[in-house]
Amino acid sequence: MKPLLAMTLEELTETLAAWGLPAFRARQVFQWVWGGRRTDPATMTNLPAALRAKLAACLPPLTGRIVRRTDAADGVVKLLLAWPDDQTTETVLIPTRPGEARRPRRTACVSTQVGCPIGCTFCASGLGGVRRNLQAAEIVEQVIQWDALPPAGPGDPDAAARVTHVVLMGTGEPLANYDAVVEACRILVDPDRGGLSGRHLTLSTVGYPDRIRRLAGEGIPLTLAISLHAPTDALRRRLIPAAAASTIQELVAAGKDYFERTGREVTLEYVLLADVNDSGRCADELAAIARQLRCNVNLIRYNEVAELPCRRPSDGAVRRFRDRLSEAGVNVQIRASRGADADAACGQLRRRAGTS
Ligand code: SF4
């Protein structure tokens, strides 16, 4: 049976009809889950006890069990979810800090695979390879888990609010799990289900030019972020071995197509690694790439991982890199680095819990 979070109202109605129940029961369940973010059937008070019990046994809204939670001092929270097959997934909530933004944001960073096939040499998630793809409902659940939780932590300024932004930037390569990821995105932006603005949904990929073009035709107004991380193909192949299948120029061409077909500017993600890709020459080469398409460049300060040799550049080096891009006319920003004491680098919580 399809998981409840992946069902449309029509599909839920059919399922409950097969259980001998009228259509209004499906609407009630739908309303609890999507309208109220109520995920424990026992609390769906207008349902008959027998239906509550059957939902809990056969069609629970949530299937992941929280096996670990870490709270950083700055309000970032990380959950480790265990699925029924005991595979685990990390999801992170990044709330804005008090006074940081006019409108408080709650950003959920979700994973799309168990482990990752890409094997970036600076990332903990790639160390164990990929175990399996996540289903669409498991991707969506990583968002709904936050809405169903009590206050996220001491820094959460608006704990009662829902997730406002979703970034598919956790463990896994979204475009390597294309169908499930697109289905999850459709559920998240469906006004009757996730209710998220497409403008608040970002998909981050190391880049498959053909799938970027296919994504542009899906009609989902999401922001595409391309994880570049290197300004030359040679260095990129060293840092992202699985990205060797496409060149930077092929990605630039796909990014241009994406902008032309969707009107959405592309983001280039660039994680800064000390003495690897943070030189002035790298900045100049990156600027030359960025000027070829309508894009913003996001610089990410590396979060160090104990098992890996890469190091985080100094704040001064990061600022100098940013300024050089900026002087070259590139829209560039340094992404705030949050949650360092919550094992916030991708894949760290799974490894620390011994589940990768
Ligand atoms: S950085 Fe992203 S793509 Fe690279 S190994 Fe980690 S999770 Fe995979």
Q: What is the CA radius of gyration of the chain?
A: 21
Q: Distance from the CA of 253 to the center of ligand 1, in angstroms?
A: 22
CATH class of the domain whose range is 65-352:
alpha beta
Domain with CATH 3.20.20.70 in the chain: 65-352
Structure tokens at 90: 């990390």
Each residue's pLDDT tens digit, 41-91: 999 999 999 999 999 999 999 999 999 999 998 889 999 999 999 999 999
Q: Assess whether 310 carries a catalytic annotation.
A: no
Query: Which atom of ligand 1 is found nearest the CA of 119?
Result: 5
Region 317-332 average pLDDT:
98
Q: Distance from the CA of 57 to the center of ligand 1, in angstroms?
A: 35
User: With a 6 A CB cut-off, is 254 part of the ligand 1 pocket?
Assistant: no
Region 175-204 average pLDDT:
96
Each residue's pLDDT tens digit, 133-166: 999 999 999 999 998 876 555 555 555 579 999 9
Whether residue 166 contacts residue 172, with contact meaning beta carbons closer than 8 Å, is answered with no
Can you tell me which residue has the tokens 């192949």? 237
pLDDT at 97: 78
Helix axes 248-262, 209-216, angle to 10 degrees: 0
Each residue's pLDDT tens digit, 297-315: 999 999 888 888 899 999 9
Domain with CATH 1.10.150.530 in the chain: 4-58
Pocket test for ligand 1, best of 121, 123, 308 (most atoms within 8 A of CB): 123
Q: Which residue in 212, 232, 155, 218 sits closest to 189, CA to CA? A: 218
Query: Which residue out of 116, 123, 310, 346 is catalytically annotated?
Result: 346
pLDDT bracket for residue 356 (50, 70, 90):
very low
Query: Is residue 34 predicted with pLDDT exceeding 80?
Result: yes
Out of 3.40.50.920, 1.20.140.70, 1.10.150.530, 3.20.20.70, the CATH code matching 4-58 is: 1.10.150.530
User: With a 6 A CB cut-off, is 169 part of the ligand 1 pocket?
Assistant: no
Q: Which residue in 246, 196, 245, 252 sits closest to 224, CA to CA? A: 252
User: pTM of the prediction?
Assistant: 0.92
Query: Is residue 293 predicted with pLDDT exceeding 90?
Result: yes
